[in-house]
Structure 1
Amino acid sequence: MSECFKPSENCWRVRRGDRVAVLVDGKDYFQALHEAILQARRSVFILGWDLHSEVRLIRNGDGGDTPSTLGAFLDFVAKRQRQLEIYLLSWDFAMIYALEREFFPRYRLTWRSHRNIHFRLDDCHPVGGSQHQKVVVIDDALAFAGGLDVSKWRWDTSEHKPDDPQRIDPEGKSYPPFHDIQMVVDGAAAAALGELARERWQRAVGKRLPDVRPSDDRAPWPESVEPVFHDIDVAIARTMPLYRGHAEIREVERLYLDMIAAARRYIYIENQYLSSYRIGEALQASLSQDTGPEIVIVLPKQTGGWLEQHTMDVLRGRIMVLLREADRGDRLRIYYPRLAVKPPVDLMVHAKLMVIDDRVVRVGSSNLSNRSLGLDSECDLAVAARPDSDDEQTIGSLCNRLLAEHLGVSAADVARQRSERGSLIEAIEALCDGERTLVPLDGTVAEDVDRLVPESELLDPEKPIEPTGLLDYFVGRKQRKPAYRHLVTGGLLIAAVLGLAAAWRWTPLNQWLDIETVHSVGAWLKDGRFTPLLVLAAFIVGGCAAVPVTLMVIGSLIIFGPWWGFAYALLGTQLSALCLFFLGRVLGKDMIDRFGGGLVNRLDRRLSNSGLIAVITLRVVPVAPFSLINLIAGVSRLRWRDFQLGTLIGMLPAITALAAVTDRLAASLRNPDLGSYLLLVAVIAVAAAALTGLRLWLKK
């Protein structure tokens, strides 16, 4: 089966591992890592999505006199072995993860530590991407790779006790049970991963590190780990995005597709996500065959927090629907691991594992997501069974051991059921009757939630997103004005405002358009009994007549001032938008299409698919008349509540800016001196900068 590995196509290198083992769950990995680093002599590389100096590697006192936390332990090792250089590389994370990260990691892992400890944050990735490789290399002789960071919320035993007192984070808070997998290799495979780690360091830091000279010493193999493979080829697959002159690498994706195509009896998957449309298509193709492999997928019941559950889980649910539709022979099962019923406790599956036919096992950092195939940096390892060896039995035993952990039975029970029934699915279903078991994952997404979530190309992109990518998605280049036209329009608007102000002061205009007359008309309107109804009716009628909404907003601000004018403008735009929304529902799409052309079709598709986000974007970046957008929203599948909320959020910045500018303009007309004009210009500049900044933020 090693012919499945094709260097330069679906893997980077194929290198011999003298010893190879698979470590299941954080306790075994952290223990092995502690033992291996104690044996380091020349170099240690730790690459991660996250690193935490206060995470405890050892929690049962087996570490002897050595410190248990990562930062103190590395400092201890560096002081004891003066020739040892330790390099720590962590993703320079997005602010959305700030609460999950350690504050001041540079201080904790560099300034307070030995001078031979070098810590850097890796920002060498495109916008939206991350450094997601989880690799540790020791003396270029031993290496770990998989899904586990040396960070908080990762340690757990394979028992996954719901109330394990040892499962606490550095702040002393407990966290839910957590499951992940790491592979450990030595020999030439470890040396290749050392090369990968140095290349990653050079990209992030800009400094090339010297290679470690080969040593005749025995590799620093951890004492607690029993190798399961000996003298076997290890394939190394990567994902690297196109960035700063570095070519795109998609070996991870290609290896996934090749493994799925090569499967004959079964595909067993454990993963955090299932949102990659390419992986989904490959699994659909396998399921649509008259005969083909069984596919068993183990996922978390829910991913992460509220945001992931309302984005990535929605994308997962869409793919699950397609897979079940393609399943001709009832060969698909998707489960989540349940640990307890009262109270309900589920297992967080963070592993990234695939096993096919007892012939290939793959462990890595890559999720079954679009971003893992093209946007984030990833590293996976794979081993294939050799002819005339016990490798197939070893791979089968690993699969049995993982299923036993999730089903709450012994690996022998799983092996016996598989042997008797000849089916992975039947074996699982014969054993899943306990409290701790695998439960079918429904994955159904509420229709209202599904409507709010945009397509996967936005939430889970497979390529770096250009700054204009988001705007292109909603609007399209044909409907966007060139940048110079925005600048010219803005400049003319400012010039017109200043010219009007000058006309009031220095031209005959001030003789027949008296400012006091305008104020008297405004005062009459403000004091009227039916003024609120008249103003709101004017907004509704003006919207139906396609009067530019900006003019109506400015009119209300001039007449009623910045506060009442702001309130009338905000409420008036809401009512006008809602009336046209329901008018669109009444007229129907065919009628609107006759007048709108291609723009209508594009906006209809985006409003239907992307909901609230699309409405906000189109309010801040008005690529079509206010009234037309309202009509198109009415004929789309958008809910009226999402439309109203998006209109409110999207109109607030513009109305606020116009209120500030109009207020200063009125003040300049009342007191036409240099100071008032300068203040007017300053307010216009600030408002323009704020709106421009908001649009740029939306693009990013």
Structure 2
Amino acid sequence: MSVTGTSSAATSSSSRLLQPGRNCWRIEHAERFSMLVDADVYFRAVREAIRAARHSIFILSWDIDSRVRLVPEGANDGFPEPLGDFLHAVVQSRPGLRAYVLNWDFAMLYALEREWLPAYKLGWRTHHRLAFHMDGHHPVGGSHHQKVVVIDDKLAFVGGLDLTRARWDTSEHACDSPLRCDSDGKPHDPFHDVQAMVDGDVARALGELARQRWQRATGMVPVTATIERARDPWPAQIVPDLTDIDVAIARTEPAFDGQVGVFEIRQLHLDAIARARNHLFFENQYFTSDLICNALSARLTQEQAPEVMIVSPHNQSGWLEQATMGVLRARVHHRLKEADALGRYRMYCPTLPGLKENSCLNVHSKVFTMDDDLITIGSANLSNRSMAFDTECNLVIEACGREDTRSRIRAAISHMRNRLLAEHLATEPDEVTAAIGRTGSLHATVDALRRPGRSMAAFDPVTTPELEALVPPQAVFDPERPIDPDELVEQFVPEDARRPVPRRMIGLGTLAVVLALFAVAWRWTPLSEWINLASLVSLARSLEALPFTPVAVICSYAIAGLVMVPVTLLIGVTGIVFGPVAGALYAIGGTLLSAMVTYGLGRWLGRDTVHQLVGPRINRLSRRIARRGIIAMVVVRMLPIAPFTVVNVIAGASHIRFRDYMLGTLLGMTPGIIITVTFVHHLAEAIRNPSPGTIAVLALVAALLIGSAFGLQRLFSRKDNVEAR
């Protein structure tokens, strides 16, 4: 739907909800505005826009993956398909073009889910005019969460989508789509999100925002684009939803490094909730904000309460987020149900028959409408973090001006909201519009259009009494204010650890030399032949005859850990040679010593060095419990998320308390070690001396091993395809 006309400032600023300096940063003019629903449309549009860039490309992201293919079936536009190679080729082909990619610099313990070595793939090995930097300019515990792309200061994208893995999908959300898979070919579940595309002065203002963020994060001043008026980068296949329109930019920026906090998005939501007459529509990944809950509760108790519709995923991504953010959401939902005396509030999830779990679509979008008078699309969740703690950016359109202008904007806002409802209800926007016209109600419209199959289901998020008792208030998992660094250091870092770490380049150079020497030794010496099961068993048997066998075996674990020998292989060898009792004791002692040594290596190298080497693969499993050291390490040890040595080095670089680290390692590794050495010992016995007794014992241990693995999988490995927020 395209709505055209002439914008006007005829109404006074006091009658407008949007007020710069209060609930938005700036209000600028745009020639065109379009809502892009789901990543297939957005990825195609952003690839076409990047390909058309001539002067500057800015990408601000929470996550980025150089391997992602924006057009899974192939763009066939003469450039490489993977994002990193595509950016490199585009920049290389345009002498005057510069690209700046800014990605959140996450806590190191989270580094196991994202792409490895992004600084190398998007910075070191790409064209010198393609600059990649990790954004760590935020308070401790905060994140850079904006998802902004700006092309030549003429075209910009803002919303909830990052250019990363597990995001691509079409609006059909077909459960068996062969194109919906990660870079490694692994399929992921259907995924719903929304991005806005805008041009004109709004795009130029977003270019200023991107440059400010780049300069704060890097200390470097990026170039200013030369605007070519005659050239139009707007993707030809995208029909704008609105033309000749004023668009506001609203932000969240926490107070940090002498800069005052900016809480425009929070104020925007509060002002809109207070002004709403008919309905408030939210499509959002999270719903945990106390402030938003209080504002909605106050409206729901009023006699003329507006309808409140929340569209959210049935479950938060993964068991851990379900046990934290899911519990917080259930609490907020319960409070709103108690306040809702008139039955005006409901929470929905879009259902997709054919999915294995809950049959509900993963909703990751951040869209909010007030009546037909306001719409905002951006990166901000309905969480305390997004309202006050993380960096966020939203675009906002308000229906105001002359009556004809206001009418066309209201029609466009209504149409965009109804497009989202129509997608979830498997119908057409016009049918939704007609139903709302008949019923005057969003809830009644859903009831009227609900059919078997793909639809929307009202649901009540619940939690167990055990989780309710365990999960603390919002301040822990969804904080409203930055964490004081001195307080955090005092609480979590030992006194003797509060000293400057070696300079990053010294650590990086030293480790690079060590790795290079190891690679040479692997290639030109018998080292690669030594590190195998047979040779390790032979070596272990030679240690068995020594008078100081326990010390020798345990120390060998530390040495093997430094050269990345898999710890599972060492444990297996120990069980074969030394039996289930002595083998288990040796393996536990060796594992703890190896963990201690490689933890010290990570502490010595420092966070920056390890970050450059490991790169941003955040582990959602650790993300929510990183500050609960013992539990974090137990979970990490029980799950095969990364090589043993890598986890240890990352933990050292993250300054997890040594006591918590070692105790968590002991608790997490011991059960697996005991089961493994027992199994391999009896396996070896059954092979050497086959008998009904040895085979029966082996079968019993195998059943125990399989049962334990199955139990852990059921407990910890609920499929979670998205990260985060």
Range into which the TM-score falls when normalised by the shorter chain: 0.5 to 0.7
Q: Secondary structure at the match of 2:158?
A: strand
In the aligned structure 1, how far is the partner of 2:444 from the partner of 2:410? 20
Q: Are positions 1:145 and 2:161 aligned together?
A: no
Query: Which residues in structure 2 correspond to 1:135-534 (within 5 Å)?
Result: 135-340=148-353, 343-344=356-357, 345-386=359-400, 387-389=403-405, 390-467=408-485
Q: 1:652 to 1:393 in 2, by over 3 A?
A: closer
Task: State the alpha-carbon separation in 2 of the partners of residues 212 and 473 from structure 1.
Answer: 46
How far the C-alpha of 1:342 sits from its partner, in A, is 6.7
**Can you list the C-alpha shifts for 1:172-206, whole angstroms capped at 9, x where unaligned?**
10111111101111110000000000000001100
Q: 1:650 to 1:148 in 2, by over 3 A?
A: closer
Aligned ranges 1:619-638 → 2 under 5 Å: none
Deviates more, 1:224-233 or 1:47-56: 224-233
- The separation in 2 between residues aligned to 1:651 and 1:427, in whole angstroms, is 53
Cα deviation code 1:387-432 (max 9, x no counterpart): 3131111111111110111112222221221111121110111122
Distance 1:5 1:473, change over 3 A: farther
Cα pair 2:175 2:355 within 8 Å, conserved: no
Instruction: Give unmatched runs, 5+ long, in structure 1.
Output: 475-482, 485-562, 564-610, 618-648, 657-700
Q: What SS does the corresponding residue of 2:229 show, helix, strand or coil?
A: coil
Higher relative CO (Cα under 8 Å, sequence separation at least 6) belongs to 2
CA distance in 1, matches of 2:288, 2:22: 23
Question: In the aligned structure 1, how far is the partner of 2:291 from the partner of 2:412?
Answer: 30
Q: Name the CA distance, whole Å, in 1 between partners of 2:491 and 2:374.
A: 39
- Measure, in 1, the Cα distance between the counterparts of 2:112 and 2:174: 26
Alpha-carbon distance, 1:437 to partner: 1.2
Greater alpha carbon shift after TM alignment, 310-319 vs 382-391: 382-391
Which stretch of structure 1 is more off in the superposition, 460-469 or 189-198?
460-469
Deviation at 1:291, TM superposition (A): 1.0
Map of 2:582 onto structure 1: none
Deviation string, structure 1 residues 237-260 (Cα, Å, up to 9, x no partner): 111111111111111101111111
Q: Does 1:35 align with 2:48?
A: yes
SS of structure 1 residue aligned to 2:157:
strand
Which deviates further from its counterpart, 435-444 or 270-279?
Answer: 435-444
Candidates 118, 124, 138, aligned match of 2:137? 124
Q: Report deviation, 1:107.
A: 1.1
- Is the CA contact 1:31–1:224 (under 8 Å) kept in the aligned structure 2? no
Describe the SS at the equivalent of 2:483.
Answer: coil
- Per mean C-alpha deviation after superposition, the further-off stretch among 340-349 and 155-164 is 340-349
Q: What one-letter code is carried by the residue in structure 1 that aligns with 2:331?
A: R
Q: Is the 8 A contact 2:310 2:347 kept in 1?
A: yes
| AA at the equivalent of 1:448 | E
Deviation at 1:211, TM superposition (A): 2.3
CA drift of 1:471 comes to: 11
Partner of 1:552: none
Cα offsets for 1:328-361 (capped at 9, x unmatched): 2111110111101574432111000001111111
Contact 2:55 / 2:226 at 8 angstroms: preserved in 1? Answer: no
Could you tell me which amino acid in structure 2 is paired with residue 95 of structure 1?
A: M
Q: Shift of the alpha carbon at 1:168?
A: 0.5
- Cα distance, 1:113 vs. partner? 1.6
Paired position in structure 2 for 1:98: 111
Distance 1:103 1:416 in 2: 50
Residues 648-663 of structure 1 mapped to structure 2, 5 A cutoff: none
Contact 1:239-1:372 within 8 A present in 2 as well: yes
Cα deviation digits, residues 575-625 of structure 1 (max 9, x gap): xxxxxxxxxxxxxxxxxxxxxxxxxxxxxxxxxxxx9x99999xxxxxxxx
Gaps spanning 5+ residues in structure 2: where?
1-10, 497-584, 586-624, 632-658, 667-725
> How far apart are 1:63 and its partner, in Å?
3.6
Structure-1 separation of matches of 2:173 and 2:152: 33
Distance in 1 of aligned mates of 2:204 and 2:169: 29
TM value normalised by structure 2: 0.65
CA distance in 2, matches of 1:384, 1:399: 14
After superposition, the Cα gap between the structure-2 partners of 1:205 and 1:291, relative to the gap in structure 1 and judged at 3 Å, is same
- Measured after TM superposition, the shift of residue 31 of structure 1 is 0.5
Residue 168 to residue 652, structure 1, CA distance change in 2 (3 Å) = closer
Q: Distance in 1 between matches of 2:100 and 2:660?
A: 46
The alignment's C-alpha RMSD in Å is: 2.8
Shift of the alpha carbon at 1:650? Answer: 8.4
SS at the partner of 1:269? Answer: strand
Structure 1 residues 451, 384: CA separation in 2 closer, same or farther (over 3 Å shift)? same
Distance 1:287 1:616 in 2: 42
Matches of 2:483 and 2:432, distance apart in 1: 45
CA contact (8 A) 2:300 2:342 kept: yes
Q: Is the 8 A contact 2:37 2:171 kept in 1?
A: yes
Shift of 1:652: 9.6
Q: Which whole-Å CA distance do the structure 1 matches of 2:289 and 2:243 have between them?
A: 34
Q: CA deviation at 1:473?
A: 11
Distance in 1 separating the partners of 2:52 and 2:64: 21
Determine the C-alpha separation between the residues in 1 that align with 2:86 and 2:247: 30
Distance in 1, Cα, partners of 2:233 & 2:628: 55
Give the corresponding residue for 1:66. Answer: 79
Whether the aligned pair in 1 keeps the contact of 2:629 and 2:661 (CA below 8 Å) is: no
Distance 2:144 2:628 in 1: 30
- TM-superposed deviation, 1:212: 2.2
CA shift, 1:18, in A, is: 1.0
Q: How many Å separate the matches in 2 of 1:616 and 1:92?
A: 24
Aligned residue for 1:283, secondary structure, equals helix
Kindly indicate whether the alpha-carbon contact (under 8 Å) linking 2:75 and 2:81 is maintained by their aligned counterparts in 1: no
Give secondary structure in 2 for the equivalent of 1:118.
strand
CA contact (8 A) 2:630 2:663 kept: no
Cα distance in 2, alignment partners of residues 203 and 266 from structure 1:
39
- CA distance 1:22–1:653, shift in 2 (3 Å): closer
**In 1: Cα distance, 2:630 partner to 2:69 partner:** 45
Alpha-carbon deviation of 1:230?
Answer: 1.0
Counterpart amino acid of 1:85?
R
Q: Distance in 1 between matches of 2:342 and 2:36?
A: 34
Give 1:586-597 correspondences, 5 Å limit: none
Deviations 1:78-106 (A, max 9, x none): 12211100000001122354232110001
